[in-house]
Amino acid sequence: SQTIHQWPATLVQPVGSPLSLECTVEGTSNPNLYWYRQAAGRGLQLLFYSVGIGQISSEVPQNLSASRPQDRQFILSSKKLLLSDSGFYLCAWSVQDRGLEKLFFGSGTQLSVL
Amino acid sequence: GESVGLHLPTLSVQEGDNSIINCAYSNSASDYFIWYKQESGKGPQFIIDIRSNMDKRQGQRVTVLLNKTVKHLSLQIAATQPGDSAVYFCAENMRAGGFKTIFGAGTRLFVKA
């Protein structure tokens, strides 16, 4: 069966510090991968998605970047964090069934930038 | 459209009652609709889905209704339990939309014992 791992679960970082969040998927090949952000009490904002190694699409211009160095690995990064980068970050993968997709989410990383 | 900046609406129900969570979607070309449940501090989990060629689908204690005429989706939870307390998101995607699922604003469900 497929599983998705996301770490760390919580992270407290000072403003201006770098960020690296990692996500890996097991039990599937060539998944579509996603990074979402969720502010407290808010909805889900799509940040990046990837359909293959080295292929990254950005949905919202911002202080963050994403990379996909391996088929089942997706990394969210920042060189210098801002206060506004605080939030709950979710990695997800999707399976396509006749052209329609169903998302499976990781457990999330709660990032606090102070 | 984007709703990530909005505070979540809430629904409060008594344990054992039925819950109905509503969602208005924006794109009449959407092919597929999904309901996700998000418990506090966790990632959303798939509950039930429905394709655009259907108007009703039932799962275990949950039913999704789709009204394409008014672009409305609802999730009905029978005999609501404390464990149903969570935020519920509707989502839509379409074959022509690439790999992008559009999420609704979400509704927070409180179940009173």
pLDDT for residue B29: 82
A92 to chain B, minimum CA–CA distance in Å?
Answer: 9
Burial of A107 by CB count in 10 Å (0-12 exposed, 13-18 middle, 19+ buried)?
Answer: middle
Say yes or no for a CB contact (<8 Å) between A44 and B4.
yes
Measured over the CA atoms of residue B68, residue B73, residue B77 and residue B78, the dihedral's sign is: negative
pLDDT in tens, chain A (114 residues): 889 999 999 999 999 999 999 999 999 888 999 999 998 878 888 899 998 999 999 888 678 999 999 999 999 999 999 999 999 999 999 977 666 778 999 999 999 999
What CATH number did the domain enclosing A103 receive?
2.60.40.10
pLDDT for residue B4: 44
B32 to chain A, minimum CA–CA distance in Å?
Answer: 7
Instruction: Name the domain count of chain A.
Output: 1
3-state secondary structure of B83: helix
Eight-state DSSP code of residue B69: T
Eight-state DSSP code of residue B7: P
pLDDT for residue B2: 43
pLDDT for residue B1: 39
Say yes or no for a CB contact (<8 Å) between B99 and A45.
no
Question: What fold, for B10-112?
Answer: Immunoglobulin-like (2.60.40)
Which residues of chain B approach chain A closer than 8 Å at the C-beta?
A: 2-8, 31-32, 34, 36, 41-46, 49, 51, 89, 91, 93-95, 99-101, 103-106
Could you tell me the residue range of the domain that residue A97 belongs to? 3-113
pLDDT for residue B12: 96
pLDDT for residue A42: 80
- Low-confidence residues of chain B: pLDDT under 70: 1-7, 95-99
> Measuring CA to CA, how many Å separate A90 from each of A12, A22, B81?
16, 10, 26
pLDDT for residue B35: 95
- Domain positions in chain B are 10-112
